[in-house]
Amino acid sequence: MIIRIVKMTFKPDKVADFSKIFDESKQYIRNMEGCSHLELFNDINSPTIFFTYSHWQSENDLNNYRNSELFKGVWGKTKILFAAKAEAWSVKSL
């Protein structure tokens, strides 16, 4: 299993826009083949910083999602709201 963590920093006036995009997309992402968990976190000290935390059965499943039309649409709408470049990590539990 792979855990994917993505840190995103938004422009203050775009946080509500991102929340709407995530709410409209989360069920579709959770239903992607190989995705067993998706959660959104908000930094307690910085309300413009969010983290997505997802579990994927394999790197291939994650890559299939990242190459999908769903991802392209969600990411295309999301990245224009950023105040800083997103950071992402693929990790595994030890």
- pTM greater than 0.85 (yes/no): yes
Predicted local distance difference test score (pLDDT) of residue 74: 97
Which H, E and C letters describe 40-60, residue by residue? EEECCCCCCEEEEEEEECCHH
Section 2-7 average pLDDT: 98
CATH value at residue 85: 3.30.70.100
pLDDT tens-digit map of 34-60: 999 999 999 999 999 999 999 999 999
Q: How many domains does the chain have?
A: 1
Residue 54: C-alpha distances to residues 11, 12, 23, 24, 84 (Å): 23, 24, 15, 17, 21
% pLDDT > 90, the chain? 99
* Contact assessment for residue 90 and residue 57, using Cβ atoms and an 8 Å cutoff: no
Q: Which domain holds residue 63?
A: 2-91
pLDDT tens-digit map of 17-35: 999 999 999 999 999 999 9
